[in-house]
Homo-oligomer: A and B are copies of this chain.
Amino acid sequence: MTQWLHWIDLMGVAVFAVSGTLMAFRKHMDGFGVIVLASVTAIGGGTLRDMILDLPVFWVHSTDFLYTILAAAVITIIWLRVTHKFPYQTLLIADAMGLAFFNVMGLQKALNYGADPLIAIVMGTMTGAFGGLIRDVICRDIPLVLKGELYATTCIFGSLVYLAIFWGWDNSSLAMLGAVIGTLSLRVTAIYRHWQLPLFQGLH
């Protein structure tokens, strides 16, 4: 189980590091700024979660995460130098995968900690969404998370899938799988169909 969580964490870190590197490329950044942006994107959300829950910050006691970021950034840079084009779709998909992995990770960690399900849902959403939020704020984009397409909402949906499976079958591995698939498929569908949650529609 702990092994599982570690792998899900590493996968989330890898895809968010790719997404941070792609954003750095898009914003004409260079040099070490790429690594900084990849790292902030990859470990920002989980760092905030662990600090808020007062748990040991996940990447401080294992160097796996930093090596994963370095590897993901280097591979992305080589890929960009070879293909010479910016894969905007890939950025969105990498971001969606990171969101799904980190959401379930944050939810699971908060539930293990003994948090109320509502708090655990918030922790999952925060783990998934904050790395990207910080990435976008640093790059001076209006954060993806605040744009029309369902973003944080997909985390809540994924978390509800988790809780439904967990309460029904008492199997947290299955619940995690269901949550990842649920979050990812809703997010990808929202991207392609431009689904929105119109709250202020027609007001501006």
Contacts and interface: CB of A to CB of B under 8 A. Distances in A.
| Copies of this protein in the complex | 3
Given A60-B119, A66-B119, A32 B151 contact: yes
Contacts of A1: none
A111 interface: no
A35 B35 CA distance: 31
Interface stretch (A96-104, A137-145, A167-175, A179-187): A137-145
B52 A147 contact: no
B60 A53 contact: yes
A148 B138 CA distance: 16
Nearest to A83: B203
Interface in A59-117: 59-60, 63, 66, 77, 80-81, 84, 115-116
Contacts of A148: 30-31
Contacts of A164: none
Given A25-B200, A36-B146, A37-B146, A52 B47 contact: yes
A140 B140 contact: yes
A146 B24 contact: yes
B31 A150 contact: yes
Given A30-B196, A31-B149, A60-B119, 17 more contacts: A24-B146, A25-B203, A27-B142, A29-B142, A30-B199, A31-B196, A31-B197, A33-B146, A33-B152, A34-B199, A36-B129, A39-B122, A52-B57, A53-B60, A133-B138, A137-B138, A139-B142
Interface of A: 24-25, 27-37, 39, 47, 51-54, 56-57, 59-60, 63, 66, 77, 80-81, 84, 115-116, 118-119, 122, 129, 133, 137-140, 142-143, 145-153, 156, 196-201, 203-204
